[in-house]
Amino acid sequence: MTKMIGKKIIISGMTIEIISDEGDKWKTRNITMNQIVSFNKIYLQNAIKLGKAEVISDDDE
């Protein structure tokens, strides 16, 4: 998972945008509820790999 900042992800009914990298966590903006939420990187990466979360924007492509 490289360069995740700026990407939008749908997880658990929320649309989030990664706004900063804080070591073992990503600081995200919950677009659905307009709140700031921190996610453990491992949790979010595993959710994407298992199909429980979906990246809906990818600037690298």
CATH code, 44:
2.30.30
pLDDT for the residue numbered 56: 92
pTM above 0.95, yes or no: no
Residue 2 predicted with pLDDT over 70? no
Any domain includes 50: yes
Any domain includes 61: no
From the list 23, 28, 34, the residue with the least C-alpha distance to 5 is 28
Any domain includes 3: no
Any domain includes 38: yes
Residue 58 predicted with pLDDT over 50? yes
- Identity of the residue numbered 39: F
The residue segments making up the domain with residue 42 are 8-55
